[in-house]
Amino acid sequence: MTDTNNKKPKTFVLSDDSINKSGSRILTVGIDIKEFKKNPVMFYNHHRSSNWDHPNLLPIGRWVNIRKEDGRLLADAEFDMDDEFAAKIARKVEKGILNAASVGIRVIEVSTEPKHLVKGQTRATVTKSRMMECSIVDIPGNGNALRLSYDDDGDILELSATKNREKVNTILPLINSTNNTQMKTIYNFFKLGADASEADILAAVTTLRNKNSQYKQQIASLESEVDSLKGAEQKNKCLSLVDKAIADKKLTESDRETWMQLAEANYEHAEKAIGNMKGFTSLSAQIESTTTVDTTLSDAEKYEKKWEAGELKDWEKKNPEEFQRCYNAYLEV
């Protein structure tokens, strides 16, 4: 039989800060190993001689060089090669068939504070614990791979055992499911995978914020363009109104600017006022049918000429009496 203990020590990771199969974490820094170092027994799959199904199974060895490094609890395995069963386990470890270890701890303190949680965690973090034993295991994280004591009697709680599910929930409460739902909503909204990091979420939020800013600028630009088009359309509408009024001889060219301002300020009122105006009727049209034409301009004809020339205002200022006389004559026509 080969003495496995004379070969290079087999170092095992007994525990680390990662999420275990219960959905919880055991912080390495919080594991008290002082008492365990006094009697560092090694079991196989956490079975002791006190187990009903393994009444004669004794420790298969001990752990030496127990230490904490980089968030991991490490130790070297030293097997009892005089024990036939322990020697079998040692040979399987030497061959690389068995490579896993698992600690049995007593939980002292747990936390669900955000600073103690990592992505994907579903149960509280064990922040303080006391190491009771450590075993070589065939499948790490199975029903017996991690055992937690839940009362002062030292009873062992098997995390994967259905019958003990309520006790697991008591020791390691589930993290508020509302938070998980909210995170899933965020992942779905940004079309991110479940393994997205905080940096990924922040990048997605930043991208969305930048797009929102761009859209706001585009909307403001479009609104400004629409306002300009509406303004140009209104101005053209007012221009058409005044042009027609001048063509109908309801206004003169000298009145254009005044009536454009009135129309732009209140188109409906300007349109109504112009509509109530009576356009000039050409005197030449009125006397066209007469056989005798007096080449001397009458007062009414003088008024019409001044109207067509856009000189009424200046004429009224310079010669108000003549203006009034001709205006009265025109009204009598």
287 pLDDT above the threshold of 80: no
Phi, psi at 287, each rounded to 5°: -105, 5
Tokens coding 229: 């088009």
180 located within any domain: no
Q: Identify the top-confidence range among 17-26, 74-83, 251-260.
A: 74-83
Which amino acid would we find at residue 134? C
Which is more confident, 209 or 186?
209
The predicted-structure confidence for 32-63, as pLDDT tens digits, reads as follows 999 999 999 999 988 776 555 555 678 999 99
Q: Is residue 189 in some structural domain?
A: no
* Contact (CB, 8 A) for 43 and 156: no
pLDDT computed for residue 160 by the predictor: 43
Beta bridge partners of 42: 61, 134
Does position 29 have pLDDT exceeding 90, yes or no?
yes
Do 17 and 95 belong to one domain?
yes
| Domain of 305, in residue numbers | 283-332
- If asked whether residues 311 and 211 sit together in one domain, one would say no
Q: Is the pLDDT of residue 283 over 90?
A: no
pLDDT > 60? residue 179? no
Q: Which residue has the tokens 């998980």?
A: 180
Say yes or no to pLDDT of 147 above 50: no
CA distance 66 to 68: 7
Residue 297: pLDDT band (50, 70, 90) is confident
Kindly give the pairing relationship between strand 156-158 and strand 25-26.
unpaired
Same domain for 165 and 34: yes
What's the pLDDT score for residue 136? 92
> Do 292 and 269 belong together in one domain?
no
Q: Which of 241, 275, 309 is the last residue of a domain?
A: 275
Q: How many CB atoms are located within 10 Å of the residue 150 CB?
A: 17
The pLDDT of 147-166, averaged and rounded, is 46
Question: Span 139-150, mean pLDDT?
Answer: 45
Q: Exposed/middle/buried for 294, CB within 10 Å: 0-12, 13-18, 19+?
A: exposed
Domain annotation covers residue 190: no
Judge whether 226 lies within some domain: yes
- The answer to whether position 47 is within a domain reads yes
- 137 shares a domain with 61: yes
Q: Which of 311, 307, 23 is nearest to 146 (CA)?
A: 23
Residue 8 to residue 157: CA distance in whole angstroms: 35
Helix, strand, coil proportions of the chain in percent (round to 5)?
45, 20, 35
Q: In sequence order, what E strands does the chain have?
A: 10-16, 25-26, 31-32, 41-44, 61-69, 72-79, 100-111, 125-137, 147-149, 156-158
Q: Which pLDDT score, from 0 to 100, does residue 173 have? A: 73
**Cα separation, 83 vs 57, whole angstroms:** 10
Between residues 196 and 239, the one the model is more confident about: 239
- Among 152, 50, 45, CA closest to 107: 152
Lowest mean pLDDT among 17-21, 133-137, 183-187: 183-187
Distance CA 37, CA 14 (A): 14
Percent pLDDT > 70 in the chain is 77
Same domain, residue pair 147 and 13: yes
State whether 57 and 146 are in the same domain: yes
The amino acid present at 210, given as its one-letter code, is N
111 pLDDT higher than 50: yes
Is 266 among the domain residues?
Answer: yes
At 181, the pLDDT band (50, 70, 90 cuts) reads low
Residue 89 has pLDDT above 90, yes or no: yes
The per-residue pLDDT of the chain, averaged, comes to 80
Check residues 162 and 195 and name the one with the higher pLDDT: 195
Q: Which of 108, 141, 175 lies at the terminal end of a domain, its last residue?
A: 175
Confidence check: pLDDT of 64 > 70: yes
Q: Which residue has the higher pLDDT, 71 or 287?
A: 71
Q: Does residue 63 share a domain with residue 36?
A: yes
Residues 25 and 160 occupy one common structural domain? yes
pLDDT at position 165: 58
The residue among 232, 255, 275 that closes a domain is 275
Reported confidence tier of residue 231, pLDDT bands at 50, 70, 90: confident
Q: Which residues pair with 43 in a beta bridge?
A: 135
Q: Domains in the chain: how many in total?
A: 3
pTM for the whole structure: 0.48
Q: Are residues 212 and 154 in the same domain?
A: no
* Same-domain status, 32 and 167: yes
pLDDT of residue 162: 43
d(CA 126, CA 113): 11
Residue at token pair 């997205």? 196
Q: Judge if 79 and 154 occupy the same domain.
A: yes
Q: What is the rounded average pLDDT of the residues 97-112?
A: 89
* Residue 157, pLDDT above cutoff 60: no
